[in-house]
A = this chain, B = another copy of it.
Amino acid sequence: MNYILKDENSLYYECGYSCDNALFISLGSEKFFLTDSRYQQEATEIIKNATVIIEGDLYKKANEIIKKSKIKKLNYDPKEWSIFAFEQITNGLDIKLKAKPDFSHKKRIIKSYKEIELLRKAVKLGAKSFDEFAKMINSNGFGKDEYELTYMAKTALSKYGKRELSFDPIVAVNANASKPHALPTNKTLTKNDLLLVDAGLKYKRYCSDRTRTVSTINGFNFSTKQKFKSKKVQKAYDTVLKAHDNAISKARSGMKAKEVDALTRNVIEKAGFGEYYIHSTGHGVGLDIHEMPYISTKSDTIIEDRMVYTIEPGIYIPNEFGIRIEDMVVMIDGKIEVL
């Protein structure tokens, strides 16, 4: 199949290397990696399955390569390309251009065993960073605001800049945690506050993703065993944890994604919190922090072995508090294994 890719992670998946100015073209058995002179050394050292071409104008060169090849049909992902870039690539080509939304994501939905090991390692390092972050807060986080706490989370996860993050961490106190994508505020952390942390890091480009909601008593940690002073908060917390555990114990390969979603949603609905569970159960994770499969109420995707995704139910009471517990899982031998 002939195709052309632009997204950095799509390129990395094809040939084990990518950078911020590159294209990948596959024409039958011939493959080309186009980049500029800044990346020549690394690209030629690492890429074994494609011809590395160094060029100033990548779009013009891609257009020439495709023209010369005399192919009749070319696949592309319309989500990867700006109208401007794609017009330059396809200028004057007399071939059929076939839009394939999520072309690379679809290839990547089932992970290899090697990818699973990289994701497992990312998750382990992510969990260690949560422990490190708890230590930092216990020693000097109280009295700091969400901006400073978010920066502290970045410091722990990135190990002072040595590692990339999967996304900007969410660190939210009490009522701010009621927004699933909370941005930091000037709200400071006091003992006994509810603290929600959603954060992840990258290990060899593979992402981790984890959420914990905790009660910040003295010497707290990010385990899932938490005691809150408020009965309402505790009831919501116990419900979210039960929903999380229910999906992990009962999800099976062969189910539809929406059936996995129901495993968390039914528990929360039965406890009377249904209207406060305002998002899907989870999403795939790999080179991208959000990829297939999407574990939502509408998804008919069949869950298969070696898919990796999150289980992250939540309850969000506006202006009061929010609870979310998230783990990354992999389907192995038909069942869920928590990474």
Interface residues of A (CB under 8 A from B): 38, 78-84, 86-87, 99, 101, 147-148, 150-151, 154-155, 158, 160-162, 179, 181, 184
- Among A82, A160, A161, A184: residue with most chain B CB under 10 A: A161
C-alpha gap A160/B148 in the complex (Å): 6
Given A79-B82, A83-B86, A161 and B179 contact (CB-CB distance below 8 Å): no
List the number of copies, as a whole number: 2
B161 touches A151 (CB 8 A): yes
Contacts of A160 in B (CB 8 A): 147-148, 151
Chain B nearest CB from A202 CB (Å) reads 14
B147 touches A162 (CB 8 A): yes
A78-B82, A150-B161 given; name 4 further pairs at CB < 8 Å. Answer: A38-B181, A82-B83, A148-B162, A154-B161
Chain B nearest CB from A150 CB (Å) reads 5
B147 touches A161 (CB 8 A): yes
C-alpha gap A86/B184 in the complex (Å): 32
Contacts of A147 in B (CB 8 A): 160-162
C-alpha gap A87/B82 in the complex (Å): 12
- Among A79, A83, A87, A150: residue with most chain B CB under 10 A: A83
Contacts of A161 in B (CB 8 A): 147-148, 150-151, 154, 184
Q: A85's closest neighbor in chain B, by CB?
A: B79
Chain B nearest CB from A22 CB (Å) reads 14
Q: A102's closest neighbor in chain B, by CB?
A: B84
Quick one: which of B38, B79, B154, B158 contacts A84, CB cutoff 8 A?
B79
Q: A186's closest neighbor in chain B, by CB?
A: B162
Contacts of A148 in B (CB 8 A): 160-162
Q: A180's closest neighbor in chain B, by CB?
A: B38
Contacts of A162 in B (CB 8 A): 147-148
Chain B nearest CB from A62 CB (Å) reads 16
C-alpha gap A179/B87 in the complex (Å): 31
15 residue pairs A–B, Cβ–Cβ below 8 Å: A38-B179, A78-B84, A78-B87, A79-B83, A79-B84, A81-B82, A83-B86, A83-B99, A84-B99, A147-B162, A148-B160, A148-B162, A151-B160, A151-B161, A161-B184
C-alpha gap A81/B80 in the complex (Å): 10
Q: A168's closest neighbor in chain B, by CB?
A: B161
C-alpha gap A84/B78 in the complex (Å): 5
